[in-house]
Amino acid sequence: MIDIKKDKNNSYRFFVTSEEGNALLQSVAFPTREELDTTVKKLSPLMKKPYVFERKTNHNGKFQFTLKDTSGSIIGSSNTYTSEAGMENGITNVRKRITNLSRS
């Protein structure tokens, strides 16, 4: 599921959540709802591309991923994971959730 929220700075973000309601991905802030909607419409085709997820390890040894568009700009990022396998599972779940949205 994708939740869309307006924050206190009047910008918009989307959140991809698991079936259980856990946050999988939080987007960057978008200045307008139209920009956010345009990006959300482009998400499903991105899921077919292997290079859109960048995997990282932070200074505490925790794992995180970012989702990038075709130009390399960051669209969103995950929470941190304690294991690389957990991060990979998060990426798999984001792909599934976004792909399933396009079929709804």
Q: What is the pLDDT along the chain (104 residues), one digit of tens a residue?
A: 899 999 999 999 999 998 888 899 999 999 999 999 999 999 999 999 989 999 999 999 999 999 999 999 999 999 999 999 999 999 999 999 999 875 54
As a whole number of Å, the end-to-end CA separation of the chain is 11
Q: Which CATH number fits domain 2-103: 2.30.29.80, 3.40.640.10, 2.40.10.220, 1.10.287.1080?
A: 2.30.29.80
pLDDT in tens, 58-81: 999 999 999 999 999 999 999 999
Domain boundaries, the chain: 2-103
Burial category of 71 from C-beta neighbours within 10 Å (exposed 0-12, middle 13-18, buried 19 and up): exposed
Q: Helices then strands (H, E): number in the chain?
A: 3, 6
